[in-house]
Each structure stands twice: as structure tokens, then as C-alpha cells.
Amino acid sequence: MTGITIGFAVLYYALGLDAPVLRLNDEDGRESEGSFWEYLYFSGVTMLSVGYGDLVPVGPARFFAILQAGIGLLLPTAFFVHVLHERPGNAASDRGRGEKEGQGNYSDKRDKDDWDDEETERADRK
């Protein structure tokens, strides 16, 4: 998540080179100072879904802030679902190890093939 946070901070910084991206949430609505550290702060607060409200995105940064907030919610959720799914003793994790239920394993298939070969040999002898 750190890499994503820094990546969005760089994106906000690049957008801020052309036009104001963040405004202070006060009566005047002044532009923020536009330093990289301020963009990194905003990116971290947005990624962690804290959203203090002291900085407000404007222009195209609004779209990216919503996208980043969504990623900040979905990424930890996906991680915990994955961890819970892979927990030992979980019936779902036992099924997800490369075999489908009722598929059998290689030794079952080999035994069936051996049995088929024996049946073919018996039929040939008759």
C-alpha cells in the first residue's frame, strides 16, 4: 500500500504542476502550498480512508482521490479474504489446492487405467 500511496502522491504532484489540485477547507478556500509532502499527506489520508477534510481535491484530482479511496478500501479487504480462505483446516482452502471436488488425484487415475488395461487383456484372451 505504501507504493500505491507514493504513486498517487506523484500523480497529484504532476497534476499540481499545471493547475491547483488541493484547496484548504476554510472560509477562503485558498490553494494549498503544493509541496510534495502535502500531496503525500493527502494521499496517505485518502488511502487509509481517514479523510480529515483539511484538504479538498479539485479538478481532475477529485476522480483520482475517489479511485484511491476505493483501492484503500478494497485492497485490505481482498487481503483478509485471501488469508481467511487459505487458513489450514478450512474446507474451502482444502478444495482450492489444484483439485476440484470429485476430481480425484493422479493415483486414482493410474489405478483406473491399470484396471482398464487388465480388462482389455482379459477380453483379448477370450
Which is nearest to 8 in space by CA: 78, 69, 50, 59? 69
Average pLDDT of the chain? 82
pTM: 0.65
Which pLDDT band, with edges at 50, 70 and 90, does 119 fall under?
confident
Own/partner pairs for 77-80, CB < 8 Å, 24+ apart?
Answer: none
Note the pLDDT tens digit of each residue in 18-71. Answer: 999 999 988 888 888 889 999 999 999 999 988 888 999 999 999 999 999 999
Answer for the pair 84, 59: CB distance below 8 angstroms, yes or no: no
Query: What's the pLDDT at 104?
Result: 57
Model confidence band, residue 100 (pLDDT cutoffs 50, 70, 90): low
